[in-house]
Amino acid sequence: MPEIIEDIAQFTCPPPLGVRDKIVLGHGSGGRLSAELLRDVFLPLFSNPVLDRLDDQAVLEIGGSRLAFTTDSFVVKPLFFPGGDIGSLAVHGTVNDLAMGGAVPLFLSAGFILEEGFPMEELRRIATSMAKAAAAAGVAVVTGDTKVVERGKGDGLYVNTTGIGLVRDGARLSASQARPGDRVILSGPIGDHGIAILATREGLEFETEILSDSAPLHQLVEAMLGVSTAIRCLRDPTRGGLSSALNEIAVQSSVSIQIDETRIPVHDQVKGACELLGLDPLYVANEGKLVAIVAPEVAGEIVAAMRRHEFGREAVVIGSVGEKRAGLVTMKTAFGSTRIVDLLAGDQLPRIC
Amino acid sequence: MPEIIEDIAQFTCPPPLGVRDKIVLGHGSGGRLSAELLRDVFLPLFSNPVLDRLDDQAVLEIGGSRLAFTTDSFVVKPLFFPGGDIGSLAVHGTVNDLAMGGAVPLFLSAGFILEEGFPMEELRRIATSMAKAAAAAGVAVVTGDTKVVERGKGDGLYVNTTGIGLVRDGARLSASQARPGDRVILSGPIGDHGIAILATREGLEFETEILSDSAPLHQLVEAMLGVSTAIRCLRDPTRGGLSSALNEIAVQSSVSIQIDETRIPVHDQVKGACELLGLDPLYVANEGKLVAIVAPEVAGEIVAAMRRHEFGREAVVIGSVGEKRAGLVTMKTAFGSTRIVDLLAGDQLPRIC
């Protein structure tokens, strides 16, 4: 295997992108360009021990409590899509980022940027959807802000949700904690959200409608942590898909990760759409899935617990953590060969969340 | 006085605006339309005891600590203006909303929405300015997010900052706590920020440049609370200006407030610009001023403490809280008459913060 990878690496590593003087869509992809923007612009300026961990949420010690704190702006297009809308998505996205830190989500803020002329009725629908999603997830929206920009200067509605949660006792989750021998668990089929958005946007029609998987995952996480706290890391593979989540973990933990293509569940409809459109499901966004790195001795029990939960019915071990080639993610393909699973180089699908 | 007000009221109260089916710029003004949007759309859906207090920050009890939590999206145009830019403004705005809750600002999140094609150099300047402002205010940016929208779908750069602070022991500040007899203190001259933005946007030239007053106020608040905790309420009169801040307090506390025009400091340049442009300084935004409602017996001492501080040198008592006509703000004019100071009906200056 190592020899093959050496060869492949020369052909699949994208060339250095050089200094970019303008923002491109790929800077919002959650892939390589997003990582560059973070590394070259934001991290040097804002560096501090909490931010530098590069987890999806900051964990803060305040008054003896460990709080998780996370922010997300949502610019998804279209605002309404099969399986959800920007309102429910904004709640699920932030609830999930808190949950991935092992926190019980408690409070949300909501910051709206509205375009002049935006229909009040749509705002009402979106706010209603947010309120329902928040109530279902047991979080309260406790503070908010609304700004309006002139017609033509926005794109309907953008919303930022920022969340606070209380990290559970015993949970110490971080992308830097994967260890050789650990197992990689995926909670279910990938690619539904991205393909649902794309299908709506492009007016694609499939035999049965593909629904976004947008869902709150904090109770699934609670069930998992109830089994064992030997969970090293949780990530929700949103923008940039499963590949980005695994690459970030591999880099942060200085390990390699091997996954097995035949074990990764993908709905047939999504598989078909990806083939048709030339997309790789590994890079397509999910909004109701998680990937977990867990100690090998508890993997079976955790998968079993996940399968008892609504949002983990198809949970499965898809691979393991290896020692060599730190920061490298590889996949054994259905044909038996091995390929590198790199960070997304450009932007496969903009405006996905 | 009461008779005169009765008469004036008939002429100055704007007519009911009716049901609006589209967002207009005034919905982001911080005035009457913003209040309507909150009352008609957001509050009924998200109602909870913390949100319903309508303070500029939520105060949350978590693990024995009282945390302040606040969010603000910034869409100011232009991004760079005399005295600051959107980066420093985004830090000051959120630091100040925490400070107005009597909290020591601790942590910020930063959520960027960038337009494709936005110059990397400007992003770097803005992020640098944010980082400097955060360091100066003693807060750490601990989590962030970046989204990119297609060219023509955004307006360069929008940023959301959400903040967490620790409320000081003994501080119990809320817009609902003003009591008859309390004094109204203003920390300095009003209108600088709004006029600085407008002058830049419209290419107006004055003898000397008008600078935004954008500044972090948490240390001024610390000095004030060091004198006495008999401070009922603090507000920073940003969007909607001093009039909106006072109206919100009057309504929330079910009191009337009387101010004296001759006591309200306004820089000559700002006064001149307002006359020229037909603007009322009471409705122009500030980003480095606060209004305090304090017990009468401590007002003198608090003003003295404020004047010793960089951002409170021109602090002054501008009025007092009265019992009758709950929710009404009136001003004794320079000519000796009394007029109602109402909420801003439309939008005097959009995209000010």
Q: Structural domains in chain B? A: 57-167 (3.30.1330.10), 183-340 (3.90.650.10)
Contact B113 A109 (CB under 8 A): no
Q: What is the mean pLDDT of chain B?
A: 92
Interface list for A 19-58 with B (CB within 8 A):
20-29, 34, 37-38, 41-42, 45-46, 48, 50-51, 57-58
Give CA separation, A219 vs A11, A183, A235, B1, B51, in Å: 42, 21, 15, 61, 25
Distance, in angstroms, between B321 CA and closest chain A CA? Answer: 27
| CA–CA gap between residue A132 and residue A199 (Å, rounded) | 25
Distance, in angstroms, between B335 CA and closest chain A CA? Answer: 36
Q: Please check whether residue B292 is in contact with residue B185, taking contact to mean a CB–CB distance below 8 angstroms.
A: yes
Q: Within an 8 Å CB–CB cutoff, is residue B169 touching chain A?
A: no
pLDDT confidence of A2, banded at 50, 70, 90? very low
In sequence order, the β-bridge partners of residue A185 are A292, A317
Taking contacts as CB-CB distances below 8 angstroms, the residues of chain B near A125 are none
pLDDT confidence of B206, banded at 50, 70, 90? confident
Instruction: Summarize the confidence of residues A255-276 as an average pLDDT.
Output: 96
The structure's pTM equals: 0.93
Regarding predicted confidence, which is higher, A1 or A291? A291
Q: What is the pLDDT of residue A125?
A: 98
Give CA separation, B232 vs B58, B111, B253, in Å: 16, 32, 10
Q: Please check whether residue B28 is in contact with residue A146, taking contact to mean a CB–CB distance below 8 angstroms.
A: yes
Q: What is the mean pLDDT of chain A?
A: 92
Give the closest of A28, A64, A142 to B51, CB-based: A142
Q: What is the pLDDT of residue B19?
A: 55
Give the closest of B28, B46, B142 to A131, CB-based: B46
**Peptide bond before B78: cis, by omega within 30 degrees of 0?**
yes
**pLDDT score of A18 more than 80:** no
pLDDT confidence of B344, banded at 50, 70, 90? confident
Compute the 3-state secondary structure of chain B and give helix, strand, coil in percent, each to the nearest 5.
35, 25, 40
Instruction: Summarize the confidence of residues A97-116 as an average pLDDT.
Output: 97
Contact A73 B107 (CB under 8 A): no
The amino acid that residue B180 corresponds to is P
Contact A58 B107 (CB under 8 A): yes
Q: Within an 8 Å CB–CB cutoff, is residue B1 touching chain A?
A: no
**pLDDT score of B165 more than 80:** yes
pLDDT digits (tens, 9 = 90+) for B24-37: 999 998 889 999 99
pLDDT confidence of B64, banded at 50, 70, 90? confident
Instruction: Please state which of the ranges A155-164, A228-237, B13-22, B163-172 shows the lowest mean pLDDT.
Output: B13-22
